[in-house]
Chain A
Amino acid sequence: MEFIKPGINIDFLGQRKIAHLLSGALILLAILLLIFRGGPNYGVDFSGGILIQVRFNHSITPDDIRGALKSIALEDSIIQEFGEEGKFEYLIRVNRTDIELSGLSDKVKKSLDSMFGEANVEVRRVEMVGPKVGKDLREKALFAIFYALLFMVIYISGRFEYKWTMSIIMAASLAFGVYIISAIGMSIIWLIAVALLITIGLCWSLRLEYALGAIIALFHDVIITVGAFALTNREVTLTVIAALLTIVGYSLNDTIVVFDRIRENNRRSRGRNFAKVINQSINETLSRTLLTSATTLTVVASLFILGGGVIHDFAFALLVGILVGTYSSIYVASPVLLIWAGQSLEGGTASIKRRGKGS
């Protein structure tokens, strides 16, 4: 059985203008949303505070809960229905970190007990994160993102370009740049931004187009996923960060498959138009790309629909990330390879850079 016929030849590169417009719009939307919302919507893990998941055995409105919390001056808490409909489950979120947090969940429970009766309220989950721990976790998550990026960049520039010396230079300049930044005491957010800029700059100046393509695609996927979180007003928690890093891995995975094929075809077809080679490679791997995405999306969708509230946001991140990742490996990563190809064609010098070593 075949969904994608072997001889298929879709002009993906021809559609790249539309694709770039779409990607650009999505990224712009994501960034605007983030600015408008004042950054990602951090969960208790990162912002500190208390999250309490309660289940009632009869119907109740958020205002009823608010009324009960009035007695302990927490009526300004965020109250949200949670999980399946008709289960009367709610999340109570206290964002304030100026009050004493330990023992607070007990106070909340007591005030709910006295309002609704002890037998009718079940506290199912409490997450209390003090401001110090929140800051630590934020730092930890950012370091995880940073190191994941660092190792991926080293791997990509080494593996894609078969230039391990280059990747060592890259790692060294990254380490140096990061050292400078941390020495002048800039925050880790800037550290990541600068590391990304250094990487893109290095790829650009060293003409590592495969690495550049992969990194741009990866950045594209992550920022759009984060934007989707802002759009749907979801909270960024520790598990969501785990999902984001997985997306980074997955996005690269997809890109690598296409790039490997481009390199293989490029070796074989001396002198042929590079754009044609790219198009042919995308078409050849299209069946695999779509199949893998389909199976992965199927299981993740199943997790999203059936997995329950606790894992819902995690599944959502994967769902968006995999969709965007599949699209970007076709429409974003590959066209980047053409940046210098056009130049060298016009210049009439050596047709296209060719790499034959390795693999």
Chain B
Amino acid sequence: MSKKLHWQGLIVLTTIIVALIYLTPTISKTLPSWWPNILPEEKIHLGLDLKGGMHLVLEVQAQKAVESHLERMVEDIKYSLRKAKIRYQALKRSGSDRIGLTLIRVEDRKSVEEMLANNFSDIAVESGLFSESDLSLALVLSHKSQQHIKRMAVDQAVETITNRIDQFGVAEPDIRPQGRDRILVQLPGIKDPKRAIDIIGKTALLEFKLVDEDNSLEEALRGNIPPGDEILYQAKGVAGSQRKIPFLLKKRAVLTGEYLTDARVQIDSQYNEPYVSISFDSRGARLFEQITGANIKKRLAIVLDDVVNSAPVIQDRISGGRAQITGRFTMEEARDLAIVLRAGALPAPVKIIEERTVGPSLGRDSIDKGLKSMIIGGLIVILFMAFYYRFAGILADLALFLNIFFIAAGLALFGATLTLPGIAGVILIIGMAIDANVLIFERIREELRLGKTPRAAVDGGYSKALVTVLDANITTLIAALVLFQFGTGPVKGFAVTLSIGIVASLFTALFITRVIFDYLIIERGMKRISI
């Protein structure tokens, strides 16, 4: 055999073997134990539209994280002002990036600025807007610091949601930040989308707030809310006939869920109802003991996401750092609440801005229908080619098989995802891959008609068709690559199979069929081409 053909044959063989190795994990049910050590074990991933599952895009309301950071800062600044003996009329957050401070004496302006410069590096008195004699100051959080808080909020939200999903139990979840303030959550094979959404979307901010019993609730409901207080509600009764009970609470939380170490579901022996018992770490336990000790006979409200869960009267100092959250929970609700409390609160509320759910039966249907149309369409093309081009057509059919085989291997190799449009891409490639062969075969026929020998005709056919075949495929490849760059989920799957398919069809049509032709003509002395 000629040296050139020898090498070419070897390349073809090697490619096929490598492709086979990449495909084995997908095809075989059980791999030999030594396989993963030396060979790839990645299977072809199925997209959510084929496997069934849920795709969510969440928007983190990161501005809220900045606001709560400012609220915490107000407390710190209060403390520092007291320490520096600076008296003030008012100090509170105003807007989303600043704290308003009204002093009593103008002379204190300087010392406030000094105090801020020494203790708080990321907040400064806004200059320019106010005159030197003004008592009101605006303390503005630096832009850099705001960005940092927002970024941290997104990162932390990703971590918290990952924790929650892990505890909820989903196989192969995919949770990752997307863009500046979004989080992409993909949960394959989820059975109860609503529960998953509840678990992911709950802020789960647990707060303990004292009930303000010195001021009148009625007066507050009429609109005269005392400074530092707020009205929150407790929902009573079952859905449909719900009553809302108002509570006048001190705005400042005396204790929050950040000191929580554990939350578990327990069953109330008396009413046989589930409740969630929580325990605090040592610092939280100490705080809890202090608060309960100092407020005996007063009511302490347990507030979850701005809804009052209950407001029991403190009977005695509670040590040991344990509390329970009761309510008319179902077992499932109690379990989910325990999960979100254990995983911690989200640093800022999240909003679901995109949801795509595909039920498992629809995914199964899509696979079946996609494969069916691929097989039937493919068969027609294969039969037609064999009929129209005889032997050469069978060669093209072989190239087509190899092509699909390479696409599958390519998907495994790149760890790409097969989606329904992806299957459509394979189907499209079946039609288009034939094109390269048709271009070449038509040229060979033309050459033969001119009376050339088989060898010269094959030579001329391939070389003349080469540029056109390349050109024609490059345009589709450009479209596919652009789609890959801009597409999302399923469309990306289409772009991937289309791109791999185009490259594979160039290889099979320009190289593999050529090697076979050459082998038959040069080595086997084939005198007549059946084309």
Contact = CB atoms under 8 A, between A and B. Distances in A.
Q: Do A and B bind each other?
A: yes
A292 B433 CA distance: 9
Contacts of B194: 106
Contacts of B482: 144, 147-148, 151, 245
Contact of B357 (A125, A147, A291): A125
A102 B194 CA distance: 10
A155 interface: yes
Nearest to A250: B476
A308 B499 CA distance: 24
A55 to B, nearest CB: 8
Interface string A168-197: 000000000000000000000000000000
Given A132-B59, A311-B366, A141 B486 contact: yes
A242 B483 contact: yes
Contacts of A95: none
A108 B382 CA distance: 47
Of B362, B365, B439, most buried by chain A (CB within 10 Å of CB) is B362
A328 to B, nearest CB: 14
A128 to B, nearest CB: 4
B486 A140 contact: yes
Interface stretch (A29-37, A201-209, A251-259): A251-259
A287 B351 CA distance: 57
B370 A300 contact: no
Contact of A125 (B59, B362, B372): B362
Given A1-B387, A124-B358, A242-B483, A299 B478 contact: no
B517 to A, nearest CB: 18
A256 B421 contact: no
Contacts of A102: 197, 201, 351-353, 355
B488 interface: yes
A302 B439 CA distance: 23
Contacts of A301: 377
B486 A155 contact: no
A288 B438 contact: yes
Interface string A79-108: 000000000000000000000011101100
Given A127-B356, A144-B486, A249-B478, A242 B428 contact: no
A303 B378 CA distance: 10
A50 B519 CA distance: 59
Contacts of B385: 295
Interface in A108-160: 122-130, 132-133, 137, 140-141, 143-144, 147-148, 151-152, 155, 159
How extensive is the interface on chain A, given as a class?
35 or more
A257 B498 CA distance: 20
Given A239-B490, A307-B373, A311-B366, A300 B428 contact: yes
B479 A249 contact: yes
Given A106-B194, A245-B482, A296-B432, A256 B472 contact: yes
A260 B378 contact: no
B434 interface: yes
Contacts of A159: 471
B381 A129 contact: no
A182 B168 CA distance: 46
B198 to A, nearest CB: 9
Given A125-B358, A133-B353, A302-B380, A242 B487 contact: yes
How extensive is the interface on chain B, given as a class?
35 or more
A238 interface: yes
Contact of A128 (B352, B372, B476, B478): B352
A232 to B, nearest CB: 19
Given A296-B432, A302-B373, A144 B485 contact: yes
A106 B357 CA distance: 12
A311 B421 contact: yes
A238 B390 CA distance: 41
B127 interface: no
A349 interface: no
Contacts of B388: 1, 3, 291
A297 interface: yes
Of A126, A254, A305, most buried by chain B (CB within 10 Å of CB) is A126
B369 interface: yes
Contacts of A303: 370, 373-374, 377, 424, 427-428
A15 interface: no
Nearest to B491: A242
A137 B488 contact: yes
A307 B370 contact: yes
B467 interface: yes
A125 B468 CA distance: 43
A299 B431 contact: yes
B476 A123 contact: no
A6 B438 CA distance: 15
A253 to B, nearest CB: 4
Of B372, B434, B482, most buried by chain A (CB within 10 Å of CB) is B482
A248 interface: yes
Interface in B352-408: 352-359, 361-362, 365-366, 369-370, 372-374, 376-378, 380-381, 384-385, 387-390
Contact of A306 (B369, B439, B491): B369
Contact of A242 (B358, B421, B438): B421
Interface in A250-306: 250, 252-254, 256-257, 260-261, 284-285, 287-288, 291-292, 294-303, 305-306
Contacts of B427: 299-300, 302-303, 307
B488 A140 contact: yes
B381 A298 contact: yes
A252 B480 CA distance: 13
A305 B353 contact: no
A48 to B, nearest CB: 10
Given A147-B482, A246-B483, A288-B442, 20 more contacts: A1-B388, A3-B388, A102-B197, A123-B359, A125-B357, A126-B193, A126-B356, A128-B355, A130-B354, A132-B353, A152-B479, A239-B490, A242-B483, A249-B478, A253-B432, A291-B434, A296-B435, A300-B428, A303-B370, A303-B428
22 contacts: A102-B353, A124-B359, A124-B362, A125-B359, A141-B486, A143-B486, A148-B482, A152-B479, A239-B490, A242-B421, A246-B498, A249-B476, A249-B478, A253-B476, A295-B385, A296-B435, A298-B380, A299-B373, A303-B374, A307-B369, A311-B366, A315-B424
Interface of A: 1, 3, 6, 53, 101-103, 105-106, 122-130, 132-133, 137, 140-141, 143-144, 147-148, 151-152, 155, 159, 238-239, 241-242, 245-246, 248-250, 252-254, 256-257, 260-261, 284-285, 287-288, 291-292, 294-303, 305-308, 310-311, 314-315, 318, 359
Interface of B: 49, 57, 59, 193-194, 197, 201, 351-359, 361-362, 365-366, 369-370, 372-374, 376-378, 380-381, 384-385, 387-390, 420-421, 423-424, 427-428, 430-432, 434-435, 438-439, 442, 445-446, 449, 467-468, 471-480, 482-483, 485-488, 490-491, 494-495, 498
A-B pairs with lowest CB-CB distance, top 6? A302-B377, A296-B431, A249-B476, A249-B479, A299-B377, A144-B486
